[in-house]
Structure 1
Amino acid sequence: MGDYFLPLRALHMTCAGLSIAGFVLRCIWMLTDSRLLAARANKTVPHIVDTLLLASAIALVAIIGFGPNAAWLGAKIAGLVVYIVLGTFALKRGRTKGARAAFGVLAIIVFAFIASVARTHDPLGFLHSIL
């Protein structure tokens, strides 16, 4: 199984980058009322990328084990839930463009937190240096 760790990690990191880049682009399109936001590909590609992201995460956890990594993996999972909720308010559920923009910024900050937790294996991520 160890032979799969590096390619899975590379896939996971690539999908994470594509996911946040796509989210930012869709936020920009939403704020500018771009017709591109309604394009079929822009409704399906994010789901494909996020499914690969989640599948690679599950495979990585299967390799490294959850138990000894529970603290930082738990923080990533909690952050993911917050990111998803904020993202839905940023792209669909926010009542005004201002609210959607604020939710978008918050979602990006939470994504950065998740990435910092993954990088440091510290459940506080970048908050560790603030607190």
Structure 2
Amino acid sequence: MFSYYLPIKHLHMTAAGLSLLLFVIRAYWSVTSSPALQHKLVRVLPHVVDSILLLCGVILATLLGEAANQPWLLLKIVLLIAYIMVGSFAIKRGRTATSRGIAALIAIAIFVYIIGIALKRSPLSWFF
């Protein structure tokens, strides 16, 4: 494979880990109504990390060529959209702390399922 595949893959995995960590912290602050959620760095950094994650993902899908047409990759994209929607409910749009907490748990479950899809290269994820 190309010499820059592994560094991009590692950057992608690092960004995925940071993205999940930042989401968990922000979701906790949202549920507890912490003012830290309004700090400028907290509002900007997750978007920077997620942009890096997405850019690396697009590059990796392009490098994989034929694999880009596989069902597992399409499912990752669909679940990413679901994760973003549920995640925004967990952090911003949820009306109560309980609803934000439930949405956060669902978003984390979606994220973990996406990781399983990536590792197994199968839509069955961890059930494969």
TM-score, normalisation: structure 2: 0.95
Structure 1: segments with no counterpart, 5+ residues:
none
Question: 2:128 aligned with 1:125, yes or no?
Answer: no
Q: Does the C-alpha gap of structure 1 residues 59 and 97 become closer, same or farther in structure 2, counting only changes over 3 Å?
A: same
For the residue of structure 1 that corresponds to 2:123, the secondary structure is coil
Structure-2 residue corresponding to 1:86? 86
TM-score, normalisation: structure 1: 0.93
Count of aligned residue pairs for this structure pair: 128
Contact 1:75 1:124 in 2 (8 A): no
Q: Deviation digits for residues 86-112 of structure 1, max 9, x if unmatched? A: 001101111111111000000000000
Contact 1:86 1:104 in 2 (8 A): yes
Alpha-carbon distance between aligned partners in 2 of 1:32 and 1:68, rounded to the nearest angstrom:
40
| 1:55 Cα offset (Å) | 0.4
**RMSD, aligned CA:** 1.4
Structure-1 residue corresponding to 2:74? 74
Question: 2:125 aligned with 1:107, yes or no?
Answer: no
Structure-2 residue corresponding to 1:65? 65
Moved over 4 A (4+): 66-69
Structure-1 residue corresponding to 2:2? 2
Structure-2 residue corresponding to 1:41? 41
Identity of aligned residues (%): 40
Alpha-carbon distance between aligned partners in 2 of 1:8 and 1:104, rounded to the nearest angstrom:
28
Alpha-carbon distance between aligned partners in 2 of 1:34 and 1:3, rounded to the nearest angstrom:
44
Q: Does the C-alpha gap of structure 1 residues 6 and 67 become closer, same or farther in structure 2, counting only changes over 3 Å?
A: closer
Alpha-carbon distance between aligned partners in 1 of 2:118 and 2:67, rounded to the nearest angstrom:
16
Contact 1:66 1:73 in 2 (8 A): no
Structure 2: segments with no counterpart, 5+ residues:
none
